[in-house]
Amino acid sequence: MTAELWAVVIPLIAIDLGLLAYALLDLRRRTADEVVGGHRGIWLAIILVLTTVGPLAYLFAGRRRQ
């Protein structure tokens, strides 16, 4: 890989890991009643399996508005 490509890939990886960490921590602190569908385990699987799309789906659609 060239240096220019690494300059793009490394920040994208950092953003992806940051989204993953934030979504997992947010899911951990919420009760089942505060999560759409009431099943935290399903959201955990979505976050972990769908890499970038999973955390985004959880953050935009998986949390109940407070």
pLDDT of residue 64: 84
Q: Where do the structural domains in the chain lie, given as residue ranges?
A: 3-62
* pTM greater than 0.85 (yes/no): yes
Q: Residue 65 — φ and ψ, nearest 5°?
A: -70, 140
Q: Residue 63 — φ and ψ, nearest 5°?
A: -100, 140
Q: Residue 35 — φ and ψ, nearest 5°?
A: -115, 135
17 by Cβ neighbours in 10 Å (0-12 / 13-18 / 19+) ranks as exposed
pLDDT digits (tens, 9 = 90+) for 1-29: 798 999 999 999 999 999 999 999 999 99
pLDDT digits (tens, 9 = 90+) for 51-66: 899 999 999 999 987 6
Q: How many CB atoms lie within 10 A of CB 62?
A: 23
